[in-house]
Every structure is written in structure tokens, then in C-alpha cells.
Amino acid sequence: MPSYLKVISLTKKKKMNKAEAPHLLLVNPYIHDFSAFDLWAKPLGLLYLGGLLRSHGYTITFLDCLDPHFFLDVDPRLSPPRKKPFGTGKYLKQLIPKPPPLREIPKRYYRFGVPPEIFRESLKKMIRPQAALITSVMTYWYEGVRETTELIRSVFPDVPVLLGGIYAGLLPDHARQTIQPDYLITGPGERAMLKWLTEITGRKTDRPEDLEDPDRRPYPALDLYPRLPYAVLMTSWGCPFRCPYCASRVLQPRFRQRSPQGVVEEILYWHHNRGVTDFAFYDDALLVGFENHLGRILEEVLRRGLTLRFHAPNALHIREINRERAALLHRAGFKTIRLGLETTDWKRQREWGAKAEEEDFHRAVNSLGEAGYAPGEIEVYLLVGLPGQTWQEMERSIGEVKELGLRIRLAEYSPLPQTPLWEEACRTSRFPLREEPLFHNNSLYPCLQPFSWEAVQRLKDSARFEGSQR
């Protein structure tokens, strides 16, 4: 029996009443930005925490400010944006004033999510929680976290706020000063979280759990979504590579993989219980150890005769793709293939860790084509705007990928504190990155020199796909 079902059955056996089960509020906050898009975006860390807390006897209320389906009981006139066939799509948004540091940026600025008065009304209708747990993602989205926190405190002024997530982990001092949470979680903090919640609620953990074993974790609390067009999966945590622009090793120092059977059980659970057919993998290193990991997962999906669609919004490592693996990806239903090429400057590739050489890239593309993927179904991530990167390098990379007829996704560089490139980014940026995280925003191309908005637009135009659309 999957671990999630064990949690449900234990709860039923104990028949815990509400007086015995402390009530916690978990919130995915607003986004404040120039643009945002639901690309299989779910707060997976917070949802895993929700599953863990339920397994320890807590009652959970979960609100996602970005998903209007949570708030239709407050305002049934809310009209959720239409989703694309695979479940991705736009968010509701409201035009808001730009923060003072961004006033000179020639773009409109938005709050993504439901209107604040609707979120506040939803809070008023719920039973008072004993603690509110808020996650965070991009460092430059902290204004949305601050607004969400202030709204919660306006309704529950005496309820302690616990803040975690990427922003909290990478910029803890800024988060303490700006958000002023009662508790701050940096990095994987399940043990500290359980300890603090014991102090807050008085509830002691009566069931020990091996938090180091990925296969013993309860499933993420995706079932709390009123509508679930897709499910997100983690088959591993961390990454064995050391890319200088990436914070994966900072946030998850150890690389750990789940058992293939455990992943298959979770896929079956969401498919049979919520009718999910689209699954997005959140792994940073999905193809590592392919034969003993993802390969076995996909073979089991095929053996069971399941018709599912898989998506890899994070980059797939090019060196791990050969003819046999590409064929298995295609047979099992992988619809979103994104290759982490980054640049066709092979000298720079070797400086970044030599994850791929030119022959690796062409082998991967040819293998995917032989497996049945049309060129327009293969997408390639190209990093743009890194410290020291020239316009000529970016233009050359775009041209070389376009010659193969592949789709290009420009991955604009966002400076991340605590990464190897951070100091160089601070030296080369036209913005004071240390003082203001809003300038980490990748859409500003903060480290691109020389800079002009017209040149950026020409670069984007040159990367547009010119082949037949899917």
C-alpha cells in the first residue's frame, strides 16, 4: 500500500476529533512581476510538508492564491483562465503600481492571483488556525510574499507565521527584515518545523518518521486542490552536477532518488483517484542512472498499459540521451522534451562543468528524431544574459539551434545568492543586486552588457519558432 494510503487509514483508525488535531493554514502566495505563467507550477515543497503534517495528525487548510478554484465559494463570478491541452495556462492578474526601484522599467507590473479582498474574505470564513505556513519561490517575488503575509495577519493578528521556500533559504536576512515571520525555515527543514509546531500547538510527534528516506514520505497534498488538471512529481531531490548559475546544491545539498516502484505507485494513485493523465517531473537530474531509475518507471507504466502524458519542464541532460532511451521516452508518452543545451560556445560549456559536448547534442537530437519526435516537438533551453556573455555568443547559439529546426526557449539568467556566479553577477550588473532582490528579476537581464530593450526584443524575435506549430 502506498504511504499516502497508510496515512489516510491511520487517521481513520484513530478517529481524531478536531479538538485533538491542531489546525494549520498553508498558503501559496501571490506573485508580483511583469509576467508569470502556469507551466505546471505547484508549490511542491509546501504540498509535501502538508502531507507530512497530516501524517502527524494535524488538520490542514490549504489556499493557493494563484488558483481561483479555491475561492469560488467566496465569489462564484471568478472566471478561471482557460488552460491549454496539457494543463498549463495563464493566471488571473491585476495591474498594480511598480515598486519604487522598478519605476523606470518600461513594462507593466501585475499581481498574479485572485483579488486580495477575495483572499481576505476566504480567510475570514475559516476556523482560526494555530499557525500559518507560507512558502516562497523567486527572490524577486518577495513583494507577493509580503502582501500575502500582511493579509493573513490582518485577519489573524496573533497567529504565528512560518516562512520557508527558496527566497527564505537564499536570502534569510532579507526575509527576516522584510517579511518579519515569527519563524524562518532555511533549506530542508522538516525536523525544525515539527519541533516549532510542537512548541506552538503543544502537539508532540507520536509517530517517528525517517525524513531522510524519500520513499517513506507521504505523498504531497495535491488532493487539496479543488481541480487537478495535472500532477507534479519528484523522483529525486538535489542534483549531482555543479552548474555555477544554479542553486540546487544550496537548497538540496544531497542527491537522493526514490525507488522506481514508489514513483509508479504515486502515478497510479493520482491517475486512479483523481483521473490525472498529465504528469510533470520537477527533478533537476531526471535522466541520471536512467536504466535503474526513470527507465524502470517508464517500462512499468508501459507494462500496465497506461495511456499517460509526461512533461519535463526542467532541462533534460543531453549527454544522457541515446537512441534506446529516446525511444522509451516516446513510447511511454513524453510530450514535453526540453534539452538543457545552454550555449553552443563549447569552451564555455567545459568551464561550466562539461555536461555536454557538441557531439552529445547532435546525438541526442538525432536519437529523438529517430524515436518519432518532430523537430518542433524538441525544445532547447539557451541561457542568455549571464555575466560576461556577449551578444554574439547568444545570437550564434540561437542561429545554430534554429538551423536544426528545433524550438528555442530562452532561459534568462537570474542572479542567485550563494551560487558560484553570484559575486561575478554583482560585479557586472547595472543594478545593486546585493541591496535589492527585485533586481534579480530575469526579465531585466540584469547582467547583460551593453544593454538596450530594443536589442533584447530583437534577440527574442530571432528565437521564435518558424516551423509548423504543434
| 239 and 285 Cβ atoms separated by less than 8 Å | yes
**What pLDDT does residue 354 have?**
78
Calculate mean pLDDT across residues 6-12.
29
Question: What pLDDT is recorded for position 206?
Answer: 60
Q: Which residue has the cell 551578444?
A: 391
Among candidate residues 449, 443, 3, 467, the one with its CA nearest the CA of residue 221: 3
pLDDT reported for residue 3: 33
Domain with CATH 3.20.20.70 in the chain: 230-462
Of the ranges 160-164, 252-256, 280-284, 361-365, which one carries the lowest mean pLDDT score?
252-256
Domain with CATH 3.40.50.280 in the chain: 3-201
Confidence (pLDDT) at 83: 86
| CB-CB neighbours of 403 under 10 Å | 8
Check pLDDT > 80 for residue 392: yes
Residue-wise pLDDT tens digits, 171-223: 999 999 999 999 999 877 788 888 899 999 998 876 555 567 888 889 999 99
Worst-scoring range by mean pLDDT, 11-20, 213-222, 223-232? 11-20
**Which residues, other chains included, contact 120 with Cβ-Cβ below 8 Å and sequence gap of 6+?**
151, 154, 155
CATH topology assigned to domain 3-201: Rossmann fold (3.40.50)
Q: In whole angstroms, how large is the CA radius of gyration of the chain?
A: 22
DSSP 405-453: T-EEEEEE----TTSTTHHHHHHH-SS-TTT-GGGG-GGG-TT-SS--H
Instruction: Give yes or no for residue 85 having a pLDDT over 50.
Output: yes
Q: Is the pLDDT of residue 470 over 80?
A: no
Mean pLDDT, the chain, whole residue set: 92
Q: Which three cell numbers stand for residue 470?
A: 504543434
**Cis before 450 (ω within 30):** yes
SS3 helix, strand, coil % of the chain, rounded to 5? 40, 15, 45
CATH number, span 230-462: 3.20.20.70
Q: Among 425, 45, 86, which Cα is nearest to 280's?
A: 86
Cα→Cα distances 86→12, 172, 304, 310, 313, Å: 35, 36, 22, 9, 12
